[in-house]
A = this chain, B = another copy of it.
């Protein structure tokens, strides 16, 4: 299946492995003209859901960022796979892949266990049969060096998310300091796979569309929840029966932990079905407790059934306050939102008050930063007075006990500072494209030869209408060209083709999933009509030429082709 799909994809300008003239390079793909248009369509629909529908703001951050970002995000420490290399020929392998048929669950095993399994089952190099090395962690970020001298290390981003976290304060201010708000980013991300072998599914450079929704920890709901409560999804919960549930039931039974995650799971299903993932090949699987990322409190993967089995297309995760707190700690900048009370409260507060007379001589030019750091501390968490470690503008310093007082006083408090939680729907665009092409792929026979059709949903099809003259002569071309221009004037992408037999022209359009073709023939000159052919049923109907642009728009708007046949 994969080979057939990719052969069609290359032949018809959808996508192909990169740098083929130089022998190729595993893990990189090019989008050709048709694939690029398909991708644009899929991303436009995504923006319709998240930018227009949800009212989120799109930003664009660089693909390169520096060490502190990934120190805070945890990628420097934890974003790695176990690597073994052949001691003889040097071929690298992803350790868990080598033993995946020896154990029930190979990913997540510690290095020592993998080493033991390799030894026990006498696993050798798949290339030369040589002895394999011990498993060692290999960080999956691409590393580079910024500027001369090699002193400033940079990494290609492994997700778009971090760009939205580090900009939290600026974005919070832009959104008029109100929660919830959502930010989205689309673009390439990078993952330096040890040995990618699954075509478009395991890429070293791929495309994400991510939303980060900043919410109050105790307000994990969504104002549009009622609209999705009756949506039915196939769920595979971590604890509980798998099967079809409504969102309402999934929440009632406690399978999905919060209303807001349930809402974005439902929205994701709607999106995936709209772009063309098949309903009976779509499920939502909850992460097991031991599978969940260190930062997440709940996570659901949208998975599609393909010839590679069930593959993850989207993850909807509750990342809690993990990211903002990490960046807050690393950068020394409090990344919090101010929640105003309806009216100010008078509260007894315990405060840390700095003593400049002590701090000045001690910290000199840093004294101001130390004072600020001290006074922003939550005094209620201090067990007793003693030397205090604080982070002053990125520097860790220790303040002696006589450098500050703890004071109790009554204060008018107008609100509190809270670290927002983050809900993240994260879409893998390339895998969505691959899954929907596989789901759309149909093979039949025509005159004994294999005949392929991509039954793409019209909304995502790169070309919406093929326009042909039966013959490129006798004025038919001019008539067809006029139809072509009239349809294009409605912002509908067409493909005008006057070369070869009409059968071959249909076949070409069928292979790139063009839903309809319009053909002008000799009869058109007398009856003023042309034929519209439907890709999936191959049925044809004659329509007045002047009505063709509107008819195409109606079909694109969802009208059933069968309605046309009724006249």
Contacts and interface: CB of A to CB of B under 8 A. Distances in A.
A139 to B, nearest CB: 10
B33 A57 contact: yes
Contacts of A85: 148-149
A63 B142 CA distance: 12
Given A25-B66, A499-B176, A144 B144 contact: yes
Given A10-B170, A36-B59, A18 B149 contact: no
Interface in A1-43: 10, 12-13, 16, 18-23, 25-33, 35-37, 39-40
A39 B18 contact: no
A90 B33 contact: no
A174 interface: yes
A431 interface: no
Interface in A127-172: 138, 142-149, 152, 154, 156, 163, 166-167, 169-171
B21 A333 contact: yes
A524 interface: no
Contacts of A394: 23
B333 A30 contact: no
A63 B174 contact: no
Given A25-B146, A146-B25, A148-B83, A62 B195 contact: no
Q: How many copies does the complex hold?
A: 2
A267 interface: no
Contacts of A147: 26, 92, 192-195
Contacts of A37: 58
A21 B174 CA distance: 16
A456 B216 CA distance: 37
A205 B25 contact: no
Interface string A184-204: 000110101111000000001
A117 interface: no
Given A30-B60, A30-B167, A63-B205, 9 more contacts: A19-B69, A22-B68, A22-B331, A25-B152, A30-B61, A33-B171, A36-B59, A145-B192, A147-B192
Interface of A: 10, 12-13, 16, 18-23, 25-33, 35-37, 39-40, 57-66, 68-69, 83, 85, 90, 92, 138, 142-149, 152, 154, 156, 163, 166-167, 169-171, 174, 176, 183, 187-188, 190, 192-195, 204-205, 327, 330-331, 333, 335, 394, 499
B19 A65 contact: yes
B62 A166 contact: no
Nearest to A28: B62
- Listed residue (A23, A58, A187) with the most chain B CB atoms within 10 angstroms of its CB: A58
Contacts of A60: 30-31, 35-36, 39
Nearest to A497: B176
Contact of A64 (B28, B33, B171): B28
